[in-house]
Amino acid sequence: FQLVANQPPGRLHSQLDFGEASMAGKRAGREVARMNPDDAAGLGIEEGDLLLIRNDRGAFLAVARPDAGVAPSIVQVPTGAWYAPVDLPGVGIACVNGNPNAVTLDIGASPLSGGCTGQLCLVNVEKWTGDPPPVIPHERILPRAPASPAG
């Protein structure tokens, strides 16, 4: 599948990923992966199934949403979920919150721009068959500020 990782309407990159507009586009706290209904049916995937999306660079989980507006052989997942890596048995490190950057190439577009090249890449898509690992809430991802000195 060709992954298309677009900028979603509910946030700017990962800013305000925890906000109401961003969370409204997720399912159970995870990003949604839209794919052609015929592709989904061919893989035994239905609306709401948990998906493992991976390639040789990494893996992430997302929730399936078959959508006739998506071309065959395309899977579309918005960018910006906060990266939450977990070592999943039989998979290795995967982002359980649905960040597609886990599978994209981490190089700049050019030495001049340094812009992102990570919006498109090839991936494998499969239905997750085990117990779903929990989403990691933003409060557990945010760095903690040092305690202020007593005094």
Q: Which residues of 132-142 are buried (b: 16+ CB within 10 A; e: fewer)?
A: ebebbeeeeee
User: Taking residues 33-58, what's their average pLDDT?
Assistant: 98
Asked if the model's pLDDT at residue 85 lies above 80, the reply is yes
Q: What does the angle CA 50 – CA 55 – CA 57 come to, to the nearest 5 degrees?
A: 120
Asked if the model's pLDDT at residue 66 lies above 50, the reply is yes
Topology (CATH) of 2-129: Barwin-like endoglucanases (2.40.40)
Q: pTM here?
A: 0.83
Asked if the model's pLDDT at residue 151 lies above 50, the reply is no
- The answer to which of 77-86, 93-102, 118-127, 133-142 has the lowest mean pLDDT is 133-142
For residue 69, the tally of other CB atoms under 10 A from its CB is 8
Amino acid at 26: K
Report the mean per-residue pLDDT for the chain.
85
Task: Give the residue among 86, 62, 93 at the shortest CA–CA distance from 76.
Answer: 62
| pLDDT at residue 105 in the model | 85
| pLDDT at residue 118 in the model | 67
* Residue 70 and residue 35 in contact, taking contact as beta carbons nearer than 8 Å: yes
Higher pLDDT, 151 or 108: 108
Task: Give the residue among 52, 51, 45 at the shortest CA–CA distance from 67.
Answer: 45
* Residue 33 and residue 46 in contact, taking contact as beta carbons nearer than 8 Å: no
* Residue 80 and residue 11 in contact, taking contact as beta carbons nearer than 8 Å: yes
Q: Which residues of 87-115 are buried (b: 16+ CB within 10 A; e: fewer)?
A: ebeebeebbbbbbbbbbbeeeeeeeeeee
Amino acid at 143: P
